[in-house]
Structure 1
């Protein structure tokens, strides 16, 4: 989770140099290949001289491999090993795979599971086929929390205090764009309360529609969230509401059953009241609930 400069400066246990080194590794995204110091500096908002020292250190430690011909770096096996170790320890990834594969076959949509990475969700499991060619996402891909079905499902599964903190980060990060995103989150909250799933129809990418459902465990990990998406012409809003969303919700409930005692009990659903401006869901979205 991203820490503000103020909180880092007042936390004596926070090692700024380590955080900056990890930010350099995080700058590399799927399909990036190589990055130069200037590109890394732009992505991390750190001075180029600082980046030069960090990439030098990470090279010496074996986490980056220099490519002198291009004056760039790429992730080394030691860095990739961290990611593979994390994936191996995520039991929910392997347990959910047959469920995701089955939903993919039933719907023709891509089905993924993800977890939070700052203001994004990061895929750590993905089931897709040739029918989902329009959804170019794979393990390691990041999508925004505020505008996607997976992200919104995750958001409403958070405890109130964590949700309020995330809202503050949204407002700071998105600025003038936040008002429209806030409305989408409010509608998602109403939909979760009523149906147990959320949808995003072209709110992240015009040509991608998806439904999302969260999964909360009792072992202290997560929450996680699943989505099922496809090109907009295949998953219309009507189909998302009447077919894809209910199927995805049933899949997550089946995963909860397979997990047994690890899955957190689901709260009883109550029919939400129609929210006027300033209603309960609106207050939560404003960080006042």
Structure 2
């Protein structure tokens, strides 16, 4: 859920941000509530996910529908994302040069390991897939570009966390502790383990923490502008055991992440037609 997202986003270390337009932020909270697995939502569901009053949600969905960012489905009395949102997403993806750099290496790693490989960036307390490659197999993780996974429980999110600076980690800590107070001690332990693992091994792991049927490794990439993005490589747990994640997939993913980072920084060679580099 994105409760208090508007208030928290508008606060800075020195106090309230007077330049922050809460009405716009509430509109984006509505759009962010939609997920690939939940493409249709009603006003009540949107109110529950955003923490906004039902009357406010009704006005926002009406406005967003008029603007083309939502489409109303009378048969279900629910909304889905409209075509107005498509150009924005396509433009954002087109502007991410890291996707063009990473895609060939991700594809090679995916085929070599028979596991899905994804590239994501932080979106609040979630990680948003901006590139995804599945192996040519009937058994693969059913995720795609636009999928959003919890930052704190996934290999990709933990890799982002482990590579981020202390201030960014602290902001994430505060928000998770506020939203999930009962679960926070266990989540915190997992994040601390991820930091230690990232520092010592260059990758992180999620062995059933997000989904008991999924095992994955994660590795972060620092872009020239300072943004941290992250890769993951995972598969159903019955195909990818703990030992394989830690002994093979993790080190290979870390090597791919280092190569992508060097290329993004202009210090590494472009990918050739061959496979990804082994550690």
- Cα distance in 2 between the residues matched to 1:144 and 1:106: 27
- Cα distance in 2 between the residues matched to 1:82 and 1:107: 33
Counterpart contact for 2:10–2:20, Cα < 8 Å: no
C-alpha displacement at 1:97, in angstroms?
A: 0.6
Q: Equivalent of 2:233, from 224, 228, 231? A: 228
Number of the residue aligned with 2:260:
255
- Cα distance in 2 between the residues matched to 1:84 and 1:231: 30
Number of the residue aligned with 2:244:
239
Give the 3 Å change call, closer, same or farther, for CA 219–5 of structure 1 in structure 2.
closer
Matched, 1:154 2:157: no
Deviations 1:258-287 (A, max 9, x none): 224389xxxxxxxxxxxxxxxxxxxxxxxx
Give the 3 Å change call, closer, same or farther, for CA 6–102 of structure 1 in structure 2.
closer
TM-score, normalised to structure 2's length? 0.87
Q: For this pair of structures, how many residues does the alignment match? A: 262
Counterpart contact for 1:120–1:151, Cα < 8 Å: yes
Which one has the bigger helix percentage?
1
Give the 3 Å change call, closer, same or farther, for CA 81–159 of structure 1 in structure 2.
same
Matched, 1:25 2:31: yes
Counterpart contact for 2:223–2:265, Cα < 8 Å: no
Matched, 1:12 2:18: yes
- Cα distance in 2 between the residues matched to 1:55 and 1:65: 9
Number of the residue aligned with 1:280:
none
Number of the residue aligned with 1:82:
88
Number of the residue aligned with 1:219:
225
Q: Equivalent of 2:133, from 121, 127, 147? A: 127
Give the 3 Å change call, closer, same or farther, for CA 105–164 of structure 1 in structure 2.
same
Number of the residue aligned with 2:277:
none
Runs (4 or more) in structure 1 with deviation over 4 Å come to 5-9
TM-score, normalised to structure 1's length? 0.84
Q: Please tell me the root mean square deviation across aligned C-alpha atoms, in Å.
A: 2.0
Matched, 1:194 2:194: no
Instruction: Give the alignment of 1:52-71 within 5 angstroms.
Output: 52-71=58-77
Structure 1: segments with no counterpart, 5+ residues: 264-289
Q: Equivalent of 1:142, from 145, 148, 167? A: 148
Structure 2: segments with no counterpart, 5+ residues: 269-279
> SS of 2:266's equivalent?
helix
